[in-house]
Structure 1
Amino acid sequence: MRYTQDDPLIMIPGPVSVNNDVFKKMSKRAFAHTENTFTKAFQGSLQNLQKLHQVSEKYTPVVIAGAGTLAMEIAMINLYDDKKTNHGLICQSGYFGDRFSYIANSFGFRHNNLISKIGEGIKEEDLVKQFKNNQTDFAFIQHVDTSTGVLNDIKMFAEVCSDYDVISVVDGVCAFNGQELKQEEWGIDIYLTGAQKALALPPGLAILMYSPKAREISETQHHIPSYYSNLNNWWPIIDSYMAGEVKYFSTPATNLVVGLHEMSQQILTEGIYNVYNRHKQLATYFREELENQNFKFLTSDDYFANTMSTPLYLNEEKSNDFRKLILQNGVLIAGGIQKGYGHKYFRVGHMGNVTKENIDYTLDAIKKAL
C-alpha cells in the first residue's frame, strides 16, 4: 500500500491504526446501552480485560468514556481523603509523570516528586529512600512515558510499594498490550490505560483495573471532589454489567466498547505473550536499523520500551524540515515534547497493529528524508 501526505501511515505513539474487523464491528450501527448486544459486549470486554491484566475475578475493571488523562485523574482523586493526612509520591520519568503532579496540584493533594534522569527510569534505591524519609500512602508511576519512551520497572516498583504498605498506581497508557503485565502476581493496586495506543482502538476510553484493596479505599472515602469521576457512582454500574445486567449512571461510549470487545478477543486469540513478543521484535528491529544509519536515542538502552522509540535528530537545526520530509513520503511521526529536549529528538510509535511492512515503510521514509 502506498501512503500519502494526506492519508499517511500513522507511526506516532498514539493514536494508532485500527484494523478493519474492529471498524466493521464498531460502525455496524449505533448501539444502545440498554440492548442485549451491547450488554454482552460490555460484559465480555470487562472479563477480557481481567485476562489481559492477568488478574482474578477479585479485581474490578473500570471502563468510562474519556481519555487516558481522565483515567489518571480518576485513580488519584479516588484515593485521597480530605479528612485524612494522605500523602503521595509521584515518580516522574517524563512529561506524563509531570502530569500526575499537575493533577495533584489542581486538587491540592499533598505529594512529593521523585524525578529520574532524562532517558532513564526510577531506580529502586531512590524509591526506598523516599519511602524511608517521607510519609507515603500512594505512589504513582508511568509504565512507559510517552514523552521519553522510558520503560519503568513496575514489578520492582510494586514490590517496594508493598514492602512499605504503599498503594501502587501505574499509568500504562503507552504500555498496555505491548509490555508484559502481571498485575495480580506483581501486586499492582491500580493499573490504568487508554484505548488509542497498543490496544489499537480509536481514542475515547479510560480503562482502569482495581485491586480489592484499592477499591475498598475508594468505597470508604469521605469526599471525592468530582461527580463523573467518583467511582462510587460507577461501582454499581460495573458490577451490573459484569453480571450481564443493565444499570445506568452515565451513557457509556457504546460503539467504542463494542470495538473493545472485538479487539480484546483478537488479542486473546493471538495470545498475550505472542503479542508482547511481536512488539518486542519489531521495536528491536526498528532501532537496530536506525542505529545502522547512525541514529542514537534519547532513551538509555536499559530503559527501551517495546511500544515506541525516541531517535535523536542527526541535525537539530533542521528538525522541523526533517519531519515534514518524512510526512511528504507518507509517514506521520511525532516531535519530542519533553521540556528542554523537544528540539533534540522525534518519537515513533510501533505498537498495536503495526507490521514489519509498516516499519520498513517508515525506515524508507526516514532514509529519504536524510
Structure 2
Amino acid sequence: MYDALPDLVWLKDPHGIYLDCNLRFTQFFGASKADIVGKRDHDFVSTELANAFLEHDRKAMQQDRPTSNEEWLTFACDGYHGLFETIKTPIRDRSGQLMGVMGVARDITLLRQHQQQLDYAAHYNALTGLPNQVLLIDRIHQSLKHGKRKQSQVALCYLDLDGFKDINDRLGREVGDQLLVSLSRQLRQSLREEDTLAHLGGDDFVILLVNRDETANLPYTLQQLLDSLHQPVQIGHHTINMSASIGATSYPSDQADPDTLLRHAHHAMYVAKKHNKGTACLYDPELDRRERVHQDGLSRIRQGLKQDEFRLYYQPKIDMRSGKLVGVEALIRWQHPERGVLALIISCRTS
C-alpha cells in the first residue's frame, strides 16, 4: 500500500542493510526493490552521502526517538534534484529488541520556495526590490548595537522626492514606477556596500549609513545624496528632472530607539521640504518639541469644537470722547475644562 505514497519510505536493520522500501524510493536509487533489499547505501550513492545517511541512522538509534533533518537528494531515475525533510524512527519488536530504522523523506522543495517568496515579500519592496520598513528597523537595531560597541556613528536619512505626485498625475503611474526604480539605482550607486537603502513605499526612501567615524561630515554626505538625483532621468520619451528633500539624524547624538529615530529623520525631512525643497535638514530636538506642541494644540482645539467648549461674547466699543456706543466686538473665548477661560486671537468687529 505504501507504494502509492509520494514520500520515500524505507526500512534498514541496525547495520544499515535495507530490509524494505517503497516504489518512490526505488526511483531515488534507480534500482528495483529486489536489487536494493540486502544491500547498503554505499552500493548506490557516493561515499560522502552514504556516510551522512548512516550518521543520521545512528543518531536516531542512539537517541531512541524520531530525528529529522533536511537534505538535498538527486534521483538516479530522472536526475530530479530536490530538498527533502527526512524523519528516521528507531523500530523495536515486542520484546524491545532494536530491529532497525524506518525512514520517511518528504519533498519540501516547493514549500521552501513558497516560504522564501513569503519571506521576501515581508522584507522587500515589490517594485524596487529594496528593503522595506520591517527589514530596515531590524538593520537599524543591529547597526545601533554595532555602533555602541565600536563607538561609531550611525546616520538615518529620510528622503522624499519633490513633486513626484505631479509626475504621477501628469505622466501616469507606469512612468512614475519606472522613475522610482531608476532613482533607486542612482541612490544605491552613491552608497557604500554596507549602507542600506530602503523603500518605504510611494516616493519615501530611507538611507542607513553605518560604520561612520564620529567626526564624519553628515551635511556633506547628505549633499552628495541630493546631487546624485540631479541627473536627468530618461523614461521612454520623457526627460525628467528630479530633486529631493532629506532629513537626517544620527547616533550617538540622538540616542532614541529605531522607530523614534525614523520619526526624527522624517520630521527633519518635513522641515526641509516646508522651508526649502531640494535641501537637507538635520534633526533639531527643539524644533521637534515646538512642532509637537503646535500639533497638540491644534488637536485640542478640534476636540474643543466637538465638545462645544467655545463661547461667543460681545464687547461694546465706546467712543471715549463722546461716551457713545460706536460698535461691538465679537470675541471667542475657550471654556477650557482644565485651564479655565482662554482668549483666542480671533475677533470680528462691526459698527
- State the TM-score, normalizing by the size of structure 2: 0.20
Superposition TM-score, scaled by structure 1 size: 0.20
Indicate the structure (1 or 2) with the bigger Cα radius of gyration: 2
